[in-house]
Amino acid sequence: MALDAESEAIGTLLLDRGFLTPDQLFAAEDLAEDWGVSLVKVLLARRWITSDELYQQLAYHYDLPLVNLMADRPDDVLIRKYDPRMMNDFMTVPVGEKEGVLVVATARPGPATLLHVREHYGTEVNLVIASHFDLSWSLQRAFREQHSHEAVFALAEIDPEMSAQQVITPPQVLVIYLLVSAFLLGIAFAPIGTLITINVLLTVFYTGNFLFKAILVWVGGAAQESSSRSIAAEAALLRDDDLPTYTVLVPMFREPEVLPILTQALRNLDYPLAKLDIKIVLEEGDHETIDAARKLNLEGVFEIIRVPASHPQTKPKACNFALRYSQGDFLVIFDAEDKPEPDQLKKVVAAFNQSPDNTACIQCRLNYYNARENWLTRMFTLDYSLWFDLMLPGLERLKVPIPLGGTSNHFRMDVLRELNAWDPFNVTEDADLGIRLTQKGYRVGVIDSTTFEEANVSIPNWIRQRSRWIKGYMQTFLVHSRRPVHLWRSIGPAGVFGFIFFIGGTFLSGLLNPVFWTIFGIWMIFGEDVISPYFPLPVLYLSLLNLLAGNGLLIYLTMVAPFRRRWTDLAPWGITVVGYWVLMTIASYKALSQLVFNPFYWEKTQHGLSKHTANELAEANLEAEEVKG
Amino acid sequence: MMRVSARLPAFILLFLTLLVPLAWAQANGFVSERVIILWSKAIMQVDGPAGYTSTDAFFPPLPFVLSIALQWVSGGTAVPIPFLLSAAIGAMMLMMWYSNLRVNGGISTLTSCLAVALLALNPFFLRVLAEGPESVLTLMGTWLFARGIVNLRLTGNAPDMMKVAVGLLVVALSNAYGLLLCLGALPFMIVAARPSMLVASSVGYLIAMFYPVVAAVLSLLFISKIFDSALIPLLTEAPVEIPLQSHLVILAGLVPMAFVAVMRNMLIPHYMMPLLAAFGTVCGAYWLNSMLHVESDPTLAIAPMLAVLAVSIRFWPQLALREPIILALLALGLVLSLSSLRANPIAETRNWFYALAGSKVEGHELTQDVVSFLDGKDGIMVDVERNPEIVSQIGEIQNLIVAGDTVYDWALEGGILRAEYVLVQNTSDQTIETDRILRRYPALSENRMPSYSQVFSNVRWRVFKRVES
């Protein structure tokens, strides 16, 4: 797209005044043409000129006053009279009134903004220029309480059935009460029959769980090969000027050390930087990360969103808050230590283009860059390879609701807003949102693009992280099983069975495993006579089948998982997955205990423990310096 | 639904067609020893006396489970249950072969039909069918394995890896000889592997490929141990000395044709290498068998090569005259196989060939005599696991006293023999007795057992009746 006249004029001004070298100007103009954006946007995405200098020159060019909204704080009451979404989208904020004339500050002066101002603020308006940062911060300050409240309670107030604010509903309590009563009555009057019945139910559940996972891997492994090729082909053909604005949310909490890795990974994305709307979402009180972010002197496309302190202090709440300041057509969440494959955003745009209209989210794969650091990272890598490379594509193929993974899920912004985004009371808000999307008639797709993360290297840290995930799965199960008939109608029988085995099976197997391990131990030590009253022959055979074939199958699936990435050296480690299951069991019981006593507590995973992270950090700093130079 | 409705009639037709040669051979007196054993075990498990407990291990588990399930569902049939299974699995396999040639191989409908017909008429296929589900499943497992390693080489994705594993698992759980096929595959898996799979770790690749077989065998050993049954003795058979010339005759039936079919892909290494690996796997297993005697009939040991042949022709390049050459090769294979089996020196295969050719095969009349004698009698003590043909021939198996019954167990564990009738093998030589009753009461073989007198005898059987003193 040819450069517009305004961009040309601004470029000439900056060159004349010595803010840009001829080479920088030519490069900026080329980028502006390729990306289909204004020169100002390109300059904000580069560090050739500071933000202050740029806005000063814009004010000079348009012959408008430049205001500093940090020093001259605008009237919050006046700002709150207008729609925050509209102000955020157009970057215009009313900053005062003088003799009946409204003063509106903008970061994007020009004809389009003038039309917008006339339409929304009337004709009696004086325009002034302010930096994007100042405007955004003024909006955040003015709507602090409102947006903070909405971030926590919007879903619970508008769609309470879908919120985990109430951990368990009265009908669910009644069902549990009746089940426990039936169990106790059974134990009192027919103990052996009751135990056999429970045994049969659990054994059948285990068998179903094993079979379901095998089917998922079989189906999932074969899926995607052709669609991956067509998505990759379209992504390669996409023109930069056709690409939409993309919001990247990066919620962080006390992780200043990984900030350079993250920012460099985002710069490395094969996507026009000027079309990225990157929000680094930080808690208001997290001064060390805020300071670290400031010191990095990031490009204008990086914006820090400070989330007001409130309960619960969870990632979804922070994301909900930041969502109100997002400007993209699509949105993705990355964790601080994430390294997405450079073409991921383009592939997602291509995938959305090729998907049915009801596709609301595309989940990318997650894996680890420090897979071979120790036993735990190897097992974690096998676990993720099985989950993201094989099972999720299987769920997609079978049209079973997909519990989204923690990061790299890409949303259509309009749908995300329509559904009130994430549930801040659910500690696996992403998994919950995946199920909610399907219930609301939307589709979740899975594509072949990977984001590499840092695998947990420490067992206590892993247990903290996993216990949060399992607690979140318990919350998700409780939320979506509140209305079983509605669930059945909205996602169908396959969806319900998939939901039960995939969400329920994940935490139930962790809780039940020690029971069956104990029974097996008793059998081996004391002989068959001790357990035979509770295990009639058919049940014993089925249990034995689960023990040998079921567990053998799960071990095998774990070994198969890394083959897609040709990581054959990891396959033999699959044999030790039993040790990983023991850790899962510990995490499951911790999760259950937290669900009862501290349901909304967010167990923070500490990142940056890997020895690879130090190398990554050094590399990121080096690359950043090169870009700067 | 359309696909099912279209396939079901074809399956039924094939199933009935495959039953014809089985029924013809049976009518001429041939029922393989394995069919008899499998059928009798299924009958005993489902319809046998309530107290019956098997002391043999549940091996090979896959044919056993299927036989027991079919026996249970059908309630027993006049046709041997293993025959029904053989025909059903065989029909399913032929349909899969057809679908593979037609859909995946892009071969015309007519040629695919003719090719499958030629494969089905191949005497090795019919011999496998007559041997029962153990051998048919071994053939199917080999086909899955061979198909899987070619696809794995092409795609490297999980389902193809699982197909290879399922193939190996099917052969290992269907037949003791399947374990040799797995061993035979071991060196050739590297030949078949996609090079990128071996870059990170070739050992890891092999461990993952063979884990299912190792896990299955260890599981069987574990089950065998906890249920106190004997698995190892079931894995090998009595060695039969076969001269080199006979080996060559047997191999000539299938090996040259399969080799030609594999080498037709010589210019396409990503097809040829895995196919060569499948070919090498069967050859390797055959060679191991000649030393370890797991499968006493080498005809059955080389029969899985038919599956390699079926897979190989599917991957032939689409060059001129592809289809006529396929048919010519299969027709030539049929002729060679026929010649090979005509000259086959192995007793059971020879008997099957005679039976199929319309000659009467002797062997079951002796058992029919003793069964006729026992008709209407009750309380017959017999070691059914060593004499399975009794079970399949006798009408009222509830009249048998077998392992698990108090009278039987007491008698074998040192108590007094109290059964009304005792049925044992008639062994006049000094070989070690396999019949457990004879081992416990050697006096029976000399008819010097107090309180018992012989009331029936032929060359194969003896019946003793308790005499009240």
Pick from A43-52, A526-535, A538-547 the range whose average pLDDT is largest: A43-52
Over the stretch A303-345, which tens digit does the pLDDT of each residue have? 999 999 998 988 999 999 999 999 999 999 998 888 899 999 9
Q: Is A129 helix (H, G, I), strand (E, B) or coil?
A: strand
| B363's tokens | 């062997």
Considering the domain boundaries, does residue A95 fall inside one?
A: yes
Q: How far is A586 from chain B (nearest CA, A)?
A: 27
Considering the domain boundaries, does residue A579 fall inside one?
A: no
Say if residue A228 is in the same domain as residue A95: no
Mean confidence (pLDDT) of chain A: 91
User: Is residue B170 within 8 Å of B141, Cβ to Cβ?
Assistant: yes
Give exposure, A594-614, as e/b (b: 16+ Cβ within 10 Å).
bbeeebbebbebebbbbebbe
Say if residue B173 is in the same domain as residue B209: yes
SS (H, E, C) A440-451: CCCEEEEEEEEE
Q: Is B96 on the interface with A (CB under 8 A)?
A: no
Q: Which of A529, A560, A576 to mutate: most B Cβ within 10 Å?
A: A560
| Chain B hits for A225, Cβ within 8 Å | 155, 157
Over the stretch A28-48, which tens digit does the pLDDT of each residue have? 999 999 998 989 889 988 888
- Total structural domains in chain A? 2
Say if residue B369 is in the same domain as residue B351: no
Residue A12 CA, chain-centre distance (Å), reads 42
Tell me: ipTM over 0.85.
Answer: no
Residue A15 CA, chain-centre distance (Å), reads 42
Predicted local distance difference test score (pLDDT) of residue B231:
65
Residue where a domain stops, chosen among B304, B326, B356: B356
- Total structural domains in chain B? 2
CATH assignment at residue A348: 3.90.550.10
CB contact under 8 A, A222 and B159: yes
Q: Is A561 on the interface with B (CB under 8 A)?
A: yes
Q: Is B109 on the interface with A (CB under 8 A)?
A: no
| Chain B hits for A544, Cβ within 8 Å | 223
Say if residue A280 is in the same domain as residue A411: yes
User: Which residues have C-beta within 8 Å of that of residue B375, sequence separation ≥ 6?
Assistant: B395
Say if residue A131 is in the same domain as residue A225: no
Residue where a domain stops, chosen among B338, B356, B374: B356
SS (H, E, C) A325-369: CCCCCEEEECCCCCEECCCHHHHHHHHHHHCCCCEEEEEEEEEEC
Predicted local distance difference test score (pLDDT) of residue A625:
67
* Option in A390, A549, A569 nearest B158 (CB): A390
User: Is residue A246 within 8 Å of A597, Cβ to Cβ?
Assistant: no
Q: Return the residue of A nearest to B222 by Cα.
A: A548
End-to-end CA distance of chain B: 70
Q: How far is A495 from chain B (nearest CA, A)?
A: 21
CB contact under 8 A, A575 and B211: yes
Predicted local distance difference test score (pLDDT) of residue B439:
85
Q: What is the rounded distance in angstroms from the CA atom of residue B384 to the CA atom of residue B435?
A: 9
Domain interval for residue B325? 2-356
| Chain A hits for B159, Cβ within 8 Å | 217-219, 221-222
| Chain B hits for A561, Cβ within 8 Å | 158
Considering the domain boundaries, does residue A122 fall inside one?
A: yes
Say if residue B351 is in the same domain as residue B369: no
| Chain A hits for B155, Cβ within 8 Å | 225
Say if residue B380 is in the same domain as residue B349: no
| Chain A hits for B204, Cβ within 8 Å | 568-572
Say if residue A130 is in the same domain as residue A226: no
Considering the domain boundaries, does residue A199 fall inside one?
A: no
Say if residue B321 is in the same domain as residue B237: yes
| B288's tokens | 């191991």
Q: Is A552 on the interface with B (CB under 8 A)?
A: yes
> How many residues are recorded in chain A?
629
CB contact under 8 A, A563 and B203: no
Q: Return the residue of A nearest to B163 by Cα.
A: A218
Q: Whole-model pTM?
A: 0.84
Considering the domain boundaries, does residue A339 fall inside one?
A: yes
Low-confidence winner among A391-395, A509-513, B98-102, B384-388 (lowest mean pLDDT): B384-388
Predicted local distance difference test score (pLDDT) of residue B57:
67
Q: Is B222 on the interface with A (CB under 8 A)?
A: yes
Q: Is A556 on the interface with B (CB under 8 A)?
A: yes
CB contact under 8 A, A560 and B203: no
Considering the domain boundaries, does residue A121 fall inside one?
A: yes
Region class of B29: left (phi > 0), else alpha (psi between -120 and 50), else beta:
left
CB contact under 8 A, B159 and A549: no
Say if residue B321 is in the same domain as residue B371: no
Predicted local distance difference test score (pLDDT) of residue B213:
85
Predicted local distance difference test score (pLDDT) of residue B2:
47
Predicted local distance difference test score (pLDDT) of residue A224:
64
A:B CB pairs within 8 Å: 89
Q: Return the residue of A nearest to B203 by Cα.
A: A569
Say if residue B334 is in the same domain as residue B408: no
Q: Return the residue of A nearest to B225 by Cα.
A: A524
Say if residue B422 is in the same domain as residue B320: no
User: Is residue A263 within 8 Å of A295, Cβ to Cβ?
Assistant: no
* Option in A548, A561, A568 nearest B200 (CB): A568
Residue where a domain stops, chosen among A427, A458, A489: A458
Q: Is A52 helix (H, G, I), strand (E, B) or coil?
A: helix
CB contact under 8 A, A563 and B159: no
User: Is residue A281 within 8 Å of A318, Cβ to Cβ?
Assistant: yes
E-strand stretches of A216-318: 246-252, 276-283, 302-307
Q: Is B46 on the interface with A (CB under 8 A)?
A: no
Residue where a domain stops, chosen among A410, A425, A458: A458
* More reliable by pLDDT, B164 or A224: B164
Q: Is B215 on the interface with A (CB under 8 A)?
A: yes
Say if residue A264 is in the same domain as residue A355: yes
Q: Block means of pLDDT (10 residues each) for chain B, length 469 residues?
A: 73 96 93 91 83 72 90 88 96 96 94 97 96 96 94 85 89 89 90 86 90 86 76 66 87 94 91 95 94 89 96 90 94 94 86 92 83 89 88 83 87 87 80 77 83 89 85
CB contact under 8 A, A559 and B216: no
Residues 562-581 of A with CB under 8 A from B: 563-564, 566-572, 574-575
Region class of A399: left (phi > 0), else alpha (psi between -120 and 50), else beta:
left
CB contact under 8 A, B208 and A552: no
Say if residue A236 is in the same domain as residue A119: no
Determine phi and psi for A359, rounding to 5 degrees.
-75, 120
Strands A339-340 and A330-333: unpaired
CATH assignment at residue A25: 3.30.300.160
**Starting from the edge strand earliest in sequence, which strands make up the sheet with B400-401, in order?**
B400-401, B380-382, B421-425, B461-466, B452-457
Q: Is A532 on the interface with B (CB under 8 A)?
A: no
Q: For B129-175, give the DSSP string.
A: HHH-HHHHHHHHHHHHHHHHHHHHHHH--HHHHHHHHHHHHHHHHH-
Predicted local distance difference test score (pLDDT) of residue B409:
87
Residues 174-213 of B with CB under 8 A from A: 196-205, 207-208, 211-212
User: Is residue B3 within 8 Å of B63, Cβ to Cβ?
Assistant: no
Burial label, A155 (beta-carbon count in 10 A; 0-12, 13-18, 19+): buried
Q: How far is A529 from chain B (nearest CA, A)?
A: 12
| Chain B hits for A552, Cβ within 8 Å | 212, 215-216, 219
CB contact under 8 A, B159 and A566: no
Q: Which of A519, A568, A573 to mutate: most B Cβ within 10 Å?
A: A568
Q: What is the rounded distance in angstroms from the CA atom of residue B365 to the CA atom of residue B370?
A: 9
| B351's tokens | 């008997």
A469 band by pLDDT with thresholds 50, 70 and 90: very high
Low-confidence winner among A55-59, A149-153, A161-165, A221-225 (lowest mean pLDDT): A221-225
User: Is residue B255 within 8 Å of B308, Cβ to Cβ?
Assistant: no
A85 band by pLDDT with thresholds 50, 70 and 90: very high
Say if residue B369 is in the same domain as residue B352: no
Q: Return the residue of A nearest to B164 by Cα.
A: A560
Residue where a domain stops, chosen among B332, B356, B380: B356
Over the stretch A266-279, which tens digit does the pLDDT of each residue have? 988 999 999 999 99
Say if residue B65 is in the same domain as residue B85: yes
Rg (chain B; Cα; Å) = 24
Residue A226 has pLDDT above 70, yes or no: no
CB contact under 8 A, A566 and B200: yes
Q: Which of B164, B207, B217 to mutate: most A Cβ within 10 Å?
A: B207
Burial label, B125 (beta-carbon count in 10 A; 0-12, 13-18, 19+): buried
Pick from A206-220, A459-473, B359-373 the range whose average pLDDT is largest: A459-473
Q: How far is A356 from chain B (nearest CA, A)?
A: 26
A329: number of Cβ within 10 Å: 17
Tell me, what amino acid is at A200?
V
Domain interval for residue A232? 221-458
Predicted local distance difference test score (pLDDT) of residue B157:
81
Say if residue A116 is in the same domain as residue A251: no
Q: What is the rounded distance in angstroms from the CA atom of residue A257 to the CA atom of residue A248?
A: 19
Predicted local distance difference test score (pLDDT) of residue A117:
94
Considering the domain boundaries, does residue A289 fall inside one?
A: yes
Residues 417-456 of B with CB under 8 A from A: none
Which residue carries 């409908």 as its tokens? B109
CB contact under 8 A, A217 and B158: yes
Say if residue B321 is in the same domain as residue B450: no
Say if residue A363 is in the same domain as residue A251: yes
Over the stretch A95-146, which tens digit does the pLDDT of each residue have? 999 888 999 999 988 888 999 999 999 989 999 999 999 999 999 999 999 9
| Chain B hits for A563, Cβ within 8 Å | 156-158, 161, 197, 208
* Option in B155, B162, B199 nearest A218 (CB): B162
Residue where a domain stops, chosen among A88, A112, A142: A142
Q: Is A428 helix (H, G, I), strand (E, B) or coil?
A: coil
Predicted local distance difference test score (pLDDT) of residue B149:
92
Q: How far is B423 from chain A (nearest CA, A)?
A: 31
Considering the domain boundaries, does residue A434 fall inside one?
A: yes
Say if residue B35 is in the same domain as residue B70: yes
Q: Return the residue of B nearest to A547 by Cα.
A: B219
Say if residue A126 is in the same domain as residue A240: no
